[in-house]
Structure 1
Amino acid sequence: MVTFGRLKAWQQARHAARATAAPLPPLAMFVDPLADSLSALFRVLLGGAAGWLLHAQVTGVYAAVTVGASAPALLAQVGRAATPAEALRAPGGADSAVLPADSAGQAGPLTGEGA
């Protein structure tokens, strides 16, 4: 899907260049054959591994294709997931939470005595 989007962008850039008589952009500006091929290979391997691991639970061709196609996206999402400790340190986490203010406008203690 990503490669198709890049090829579509290359096609549109070529059409725009032809309309203005500008030099045509090379395909290498939009697609990196080595990196894209390796990426596709690893996606196939991850999909195959997911299908092999879940072969007892998956019945039917459509289910097998769904499991295989979703494996790279699922692993990417798991890789971006934050641990609870990271979530607390991140901006907007518990460390930067706004504490309730007391009547003098000062932040009160967490026990709620100043609210």
Structure 2
Amino acid sequence: MLTWIEVTACGAGGGLIAEAVVTFGRLHAWQQARHAARASTSPLPAFGAFVDPLADSLSALFRVALGGAAAWLLHAEVTGVYAAVTVGASAPALLAQVGRASTAADALRGPGSEEPGEASSRPSPPRAPAAREDAAP
């Protein structure tokens, strides 16, 4: 079992990995736009049209902080490094789901879960056709 410090660090690392993937997507889009511009002899697109260093840096900082915070909040449930990194990488979506829940039990159940005794959304099994009254016995 990891300590809360290790879980928090791994969660922050997961947030950093997620931000690196987002940044790679922006750089890839810039690269593709440059290739398209070179092929058509158009002016090359500016780097600043795809990456905003100040806004992207703040976004990365908050994603790392959210990853660490989410992992810290769930440190009792997280049992390994991979789980802590996953919690950190999915922190914005995970914390948004927790924020939408009306109770703590709703947050832990997640979408699509049912309480015992709740009406199921699954269809009931087909019933045998009812006997006709005019049919002979």
Tell me: higher relative CO, structure 1 or 2? Use CA pairs within 8 A at least 6 residues apart. 2
Residues 19-73 of structure 1, C-alpha deviations (whole Å, 9 max, x = no match): 1222111110011111111111101101101111221221111111111111112
Q: Percent identity?
A: 83
With over 3 angstroms needed to count, the CA separation of the structure-2 counterparts of 1:77 and 1:59, relative to structure 1, is: closer
The answer to whether the aligner puts 1:57 opposite 2:99 as a matched pair is no
Q: 1:71 aligns with which of 81, 91, 96?
A: 91
Paired position in structure 2 for 1:32:
52
- CA gap of 1:82–1:60, structure 2 versus 1, over 3 A, is closer
TM-score by length of 1: 0.63
Task: Determine whether 1:14 maps to 2:34.
Answer: yes
| Uncovered stretches (5+) of structure 2, i.e. residues with no partner | 1-20, 103-137
Q: Give the distance between the partners of 1:41 and 1:57, measured in 2 at CA.
A: 25
Runs of 4+ in 1 over 3 A off after TM superposition: 76-79
| Closer/same/farther in 2, CA of residues 77 and 36 from structure 1, 3 Å limit | farther
Which residues of 2 match residues 100-111 of structure 1 at below 5 A?
Answer: none
1:3 maps onto 2:29 in alignment = no
Amino acid in structure 2 at the alignment position of 1:61? V
Q: TM-score, normalised by structure 2?
A: 0.53
